[in-house]
Amino acid sequence: MTATAEPTADPTPAPAGPRVPQLRVIGAGEIAAQVDADREGALAAVRDAYLAHDDGTTVNPHSSFLRFPDRPRDRIIALPAFLGGDREIAGIKWIASYPGNTEHGIPRASAMLVLNDHGTGYPYAVLESSIISATRTAASAVLAAQALTGGRRAGRVGFVGTGLIADNVRKFFRDLGWEVGGWRLFDTRRANAERFAAAITADGMGEVEVVDDVSGAFTGCDVVVLATVAGEPHLGDPALLAHNPVVLHLSLRDLTPELVLASTNVTDDVDHAVRERTSLHLAEQVAGNRDFVHGTISDVLRGRLTPEPGRPVLFSPFGLGVLDLAVGGWAYDRVLAGGGGQAVPDFYTGAVG
């Protein structure tokens, strides 16, 4: 019988398989600190996400709206998404909007963002996301304002609604070095507008006036920011847009179909924005088509769309989940690099299946 040698151990270890990531929780304070320190970086993250979406390296299903028969003003929205490219991030934002909260001294919106490991599917981070959501909305607005006006300069900026979103837009204008000659503010609660005016004055950002009628926030303003909680159109006077401003229609439901159809319309994603009874959706029902939507912000950024002179321009972003992933991933990396966040090492211990 011929002897056979004992098998020798392979000196090259087998590659490690997927590992369950450790969950980390990051709160509002740490998120806000990163945004406050680098709004230019947050803006760049949003811009890159828009271009990735334009390149087709994202997956962004329609948002899902949870509504309640006994609370018609309230809603909770789920925004799942995948952001591809150099860094692949999957996740979901779960954001509630309860306008009545403000009457009890708590914010209207509350949210969390879950980031999932692309290799295993396991969630590896839970981030407070009302700040992320406000940041990506404000960044997209100011990015659009820059692209549509051709620079970081405006003779006058008007605000209709002076709450959390508006305040984040203001901070982007400030920290990105915009030159603004004056500000006109309208809010159904004058005290809110006066607090907003005080913040602009404290920042030394130019002359500011609180106006008593919504038309005053349009008159003579190159850029107008609509940041209300309106559920139905309430602005329909053609005189509001007669001077052809750039309108950042962040609240999506303020303008009548007639004003929409008389303007150049830019959005973030047509299929997302022309639904859920937005002003664009109502305009589609009147027009019978979507031809009045001229393109997306990516078309503007890449030079495929230049708004026609002599017409008002409306930017109506529905708010893509990939933007939340972009800002959330950017903030997560910065917090982690500084040793922040709260690890939950035993979160998955004992899980089966």
Shared domain for 160 and 176, answered yes or no, is: yes
Residue 5 confidence (pLDDT): 41
For residue 130, with 0-12 CB atoms within 10 Å meaning exposed, 13-18 middle and 19 or more buried, which class applies?
buried
Shared domain for 162 and 249, answered yes or no, is: yes
Shared domain for 311 and 257, answered yes or no, is: yes
Residue 353 confidence (pLDDT): 61
With respect to residue 138, please indicate whether it lies within any of the assigned structural domains.
Answer: no
With respect to residue 4, please indicate whether it lies within any of the assigned structural domains.
Answer: no
Q: Which helix (H) or strand (E) holds 219?
A: none
With respect to residue 252, please indicate whether it lies within any of the assigned structural domains.
Answer: yes
Shared domain for 94 and 159, answered yes or no, is: no
Shared domain for 84 and 176, answered yes or no, is: no
With respect to residue 300, please indicate whether it lies within any of the assigned structural domains.
Answer: yes
Residue 14 confidence (pLDDT): 46
Q: How many domains does the chain have?
A: 2
Using an 8 Å Cβ cutoff, are 17 and 267 in contact?
no
**Cα–Cα distance, 107 to 91 (Å, whole number):** 24
Shared domain for 307 and 207, answered yes or no, is: yes
With respect to residue 353, please indicate whether it lies within any of the assigned structural domains.
Answer: no
Phi, psi (5° rounding) for residue 230?
Answer: -65, 135
With respect to residue 234, please indicate whether it lies within any of the assigned structural domains.
Answer: yes
With respect to residue 183, please indicate whether it lies within any of the assigned structural domains.
Answer: yes
* CATH (domain of 230): 3.40.50.720
Could you tell me the two tokens for 239? 């005189």
Residue 15 confidence (pLDDT): 53
With respect to residue 13, please indicate whether it lies within any of the assigned structural domains.
Answer: no
**Cα–Cα distance, 298 to 97 (Å, whole number):** 28
Can you count the helices (H) and strands (E) in the chain? 10, 18
**Cα–Cα distance, 324 to 135 (Å, whole number):** 9
Shared domain for 339 and 231, answered yes or no, is: no
Shared domain for 294 and 333, answered yes or no, is: no
CA-based max dimension of the chain: 105
Q: Which domain holds residue 182?
A: 150-319
Shared domain for 330 and 248, answered yes or no, is: no
CB atoms within 10 A of CB 307: 22
* CATH (domain of 99): 3.30.1780.10
Could you tell me the two tokens for 268? 């973030």
Q: Quote the pTM value.
A: 0.90
**Cα–Cα distance, 345 to 99 (Å, whole number):** 36
Residue 30 confidence (pLDDT): 98
Shared domain for 236 and 310, answered yes or no, is: yes
Shared domain for 107 and 198, answered yes or no, is: no
Shared domain for 45 and 104, answered yes or no, is: yes
Residue 17 confidence (pLDDT): 65
**Cα–Cα distance, 98 to 246 (Å, whole number):** 29
**pLDDT tens for the 353 residues of the chain, in order:** 444 444 444 455 545 667 888 999 999 999 999 999 999 999 999 999 999 999 999 999 998 999 999 999 899 999 999 999 888 999 999 999 998 898 898 888 899 999 999 989 999 999 999 999 999 999 999 999 999 999 999 999 999 999 999 999 999 999 999 999 999 999 999 999 999 999 999 999 999 999 999 999 999 999 999 999 898 999 999 999 999 999 999 999 999 999 999 999 999 999 999 998 999 999 999 999 999 999 999 999 999 999 989 999 999 999 899 999 999 999 999 999 999 999 999 899 887 66
